[in-house]
Amino acid sequence: MNYSPLIPELIVVLTGLIVVFFGLFLPLRVKKGLGCISALALIASIVYILKSGVLSTSERAGIYFYEAYAIDSLSQFFKLVFLAVSLIVVIASIKRYENNKYQDEYYGLLLFATFGMMIVASSNDLVTLFIGFELASMSTYVLAGFDKTNPKSLEAAMKYFIIGSVSSAIMLFGLSLLYGVTGTTNIEGISAYIAVNGILDAAGIAILVFLIAGFAFKMALVPFHMWAPDTYEGAPTMISAMLAAGSKKMGFVAAFKVFIVALIALRLDLQSVFFILAIITMTYGNVVAISQKSIKRMLAYSSVAQAGYIAMAFVIMTPLAMGAGMLYILSHAFMKSGAFIAVGAVTHMMWTRNKNVENADYLKNFAGLSQRAPYTALAMLIFVFALAGIPPTAGFVSKFFLFSSAIQAGYIALVVVAILNSAVSLYYYARIVKYMYVLPPAGETLKEPRAYLLAMLVAIIAIFAIGIYPAPFLDWAMNAAATIGM
């Protein structure tokens, strides 16, 4: 059997082990190199996936380990999302944690978290799925509390852990019910069983609801989102980027696999459930984001709202909608991680000037940023405009395809709500721009760290590439959608 499609996973997990192992011996001054190695490993994985050509076909490239692990364009598409977010985060972290003596653990955990997400993306079996989920979750629980001296970070990690555990329990319950009813954990097996035998409605509803709750925790759909703002705000900004841009997508890929592939035969009204969830989530996220003082928290709510848009794909359920949803996921990964990194850059610059600045991520610190840190301000401008969906950015293209797929499918009301929401969101995005570009500077010029700028540049290039020439990306997304039978 040809195991070469698994090379990206191998690169990531081996690099993780190497980083942790050598971290034990290396003195602090060379530990920075571990971050560089991690970044290189991530780049190598990305390049391998792009080169392998799996993305441009809807054929399955391979299935491994007793049909538990599948490589197809869906899995590779999501791996690309996860790897890209990790890469952006690692690049910025090289500067952020250059003097931290535990940075080897940081990079190790980051790579393991990425590995967990990659497993979820490829899993073809409920057990594999759950293990990937937990590996990613465990690693990120620790990472959320990585700034050990900061009580907010610890609080964030604790809340994330508790709600995460509750959700895992609920999800596991749903998975076990599913196994109990169908007698298999293989996703295609489940699909086949249900199609032939059918299952009791009551059991179906219980399974569906428990799984929705479990996945929606990761996706941060209302009302399963409450951990998200606290965690994103308190966690180290890099990790917030990872959670909001990367690990959130794990919930979506799991949902694509389980709801669309395995449970579509249930014929329960999944669409209406997601219709309500999507509308509540986007509206709630946008409305609450308006009144936030902390930009990280604002981005957290904006990320909740964006999850609401993406969830529209589960309502519309047409091939174009699925493809558009995936394209949105890809775009969102860059926009959101970029925005968090920009905030991270600002807080970093504040802290280098004065270690004891409190609430460094507050909006008021962004006043006049265009003069204090022009490149960071410009990058942030691009990210928030992309998030708001202004052309020629990725945000516009994704919204365009998603909304037009909804119109094609006749969900006019949903589109109206979504567009009104976009308008509302422009308020708080534009407010950031106003602070950065209109208000007088809140201090002297800052020295912009290059690693952060590089990380943001990566995100910006991707945002414009997707925004200006979306055809190849949409192709990938449509192929990915085709692999789940769309």
Partner 1 sequence: MFQDFAYLIILLPVIAFVLTLFFGKKFPANGGILSVIAVFSAFVISAGILIEIYPSGCVEQSWPWFAILNFGILIDPLAAVMLCMVSFVSFLIHVYSVGYMSHDHAKPRYFAETALFTTAMLGVVLSDNILQFFIFWELVGLCSYLLIGFWYRKPTAAAAAKKAFLVTRVGDVLFLAGIIILYLNIRDFQIPDGAYLLQFQTMFAAIGHIPPSQLTVITLLFFGGAVGKSGQFPLHIWLPDAMEGPTTVSALIHAATMVTAGVYLVARTFPIFLASPDALTVVAYIGGFTAIFAATMGLVMNDIKRVLAYSTVSQLGYMMLALGTGIVIGAEVVGVSMFHLISHAFFKALLFLCAGSVIHGLGLQDLRQMGGAFSKMKITAITMLIASLALTGIPPTAGFFSKDAIIEGTYAYGIHTGSMALYAMGIIAALLTSIYTYRLWFMAFAGKPRTNYHAHESPPSMTVPLIILAILALVFGLVAHGAFGGFLEHTYSENLIEDAAAIGGHHIATEHAHPPTILFYMPIIVGVLGFVISWLIYSKRVINMSSIVSKRNPIYNLLLNRYYQQKIYIEFIAITIVYRVLALLGEFIDRRIIDGIIDGISYVIITIGEFIRRIQTGVVQHYAAFVVAGVVVLILLLQGGIL
User: Which residues form the interface with partner 1 (CB under 8 A)?
Assistant: 158-159, 162-163, 166-167, 170, 202, 205-206, 208-210, 212-213, 216-217, 223-224, 226-227, 229-230, 268-269, 272-273, 276, 284, 287-291, 397, 400-401, 404, 424, 427, 469-471, 474
Dist. CA 340–CA 348, nearest whole Å: 12
Least spacing, CB of residue 302 vs partner 1, in Å? 13
Kindly give, in sequence order, each residue whose CB lies less than 8 Å from that of residue 237, ignoring residues fewer than 6 positions away: 96, 296, 340, 341, 343, 344, 347, 361
Nearer to partner 1, 230 or 448 (CB): 230
Could you tell me the sign of the dihedral formed by the alpha carbons of 335, 337, 339, 345, in that order?
A: negative
Q: Please, are residues 106 and 146 in contact by the beta-carbon 8 Å criterion?
A: yes
Least spacing, CB of residue 282 vs partner 1, in Å? 13
3-class secondary-structure state, position 61: coil
Dist. CA 157–CA 461, nearest whole Å: 32
Nearer to partner 1, 157 or 190 (CB): 157
Q: Please, are residues 82 and 75 in contact by the beta-carbon 8 Å criterion?
A: no
Nearer to partner 1, 94 or 222 (CB): 222
Place of tokens 């995005």: 429
Which secondary structure element, helix H or strand E, spans residue 340, and what is its range?
helix 319-353
Phi, psi of 64 (to 5 degrees): -130, 165
Least spacing, CB of residue 166 vs partner 1, in Å? 5
Determine whether 44 is exposed, middle or buried from the number of CB atoms within 10 Å of its CB (0-12, 13-18, 19+): middle
Least spacing, CB of residue 272 vs partner 1, in Å? 4
Both tokens of 53, joined, read: 């050509």
Least spacing, CB of residue 101 vs partner 1, in Å? 30
Q: Please, are residues 389 and 323 in contact by the beta-carbon 8 Å criterion?
A: no
Q: Please, are residues 45 and 27 in contact by the beta-carbon 8 Å criterion?
A: no
Nearer to partner 1, 4 or 291 (CB): 291
Least spacing, CB of residue 232 vs partner 1, in Å? 12
Could you tell me the sign of the dihedral formed by the alpha carbons of 268, 271, 275, 277, in that order?
A: positive
Nearer to partner 1, 351 or 427 (CB): 427
Least spacing, CB of residue 287 vs partner 1, in Å? 5
Nearer to partner 1, 143 or 213 (CB): 213
Nearer to partner 1, 124 or 303 (CB): 303
Nearer to partner 1, 9 or 233 (CB): 233
Nearer to partner 1, 24 or 471 (CB): 471
Dist. CA 111–CA 122, nearest whole Å: 16
Determine whether 301 is exposed, middle or buried from the number of CB atoms within 10 Å of its CB (0-12, 13-18, 19+): buried
List, in sequence order, every residue forming a beta bridge with 71; answer none if it has no partner: 62
Using alpha carbons only, give the angle 82, 87, 89 rounded to the nearest 5 degrees: 95
Least spacing, CB of residue 294 vs partner 1, in Å? 12
Least spacing, CB of residue 215 vs partner 1, in Å? 12
Dist. CA 92–CA 85, nearest whole Å: 11
Nearer to partner 1, 33 or 472 (CB): 472
Least spacing, CB of residue 397 vs partner 1, in Å? 7
Nearer to partner 1, 108 or 470 (CB): 470
Helices (H), 220-318: 227-234, 237-241, 248-255, 270-290, 295-316
Q: Please, are residues 332 and 304 in contact by the beta-carbon 8 Å criterion?
A: no
Dist. CA 301–CA 290, nearest whole Å: 9
Least spacing, CB of residue 474 vs partner 1, in Å? 6
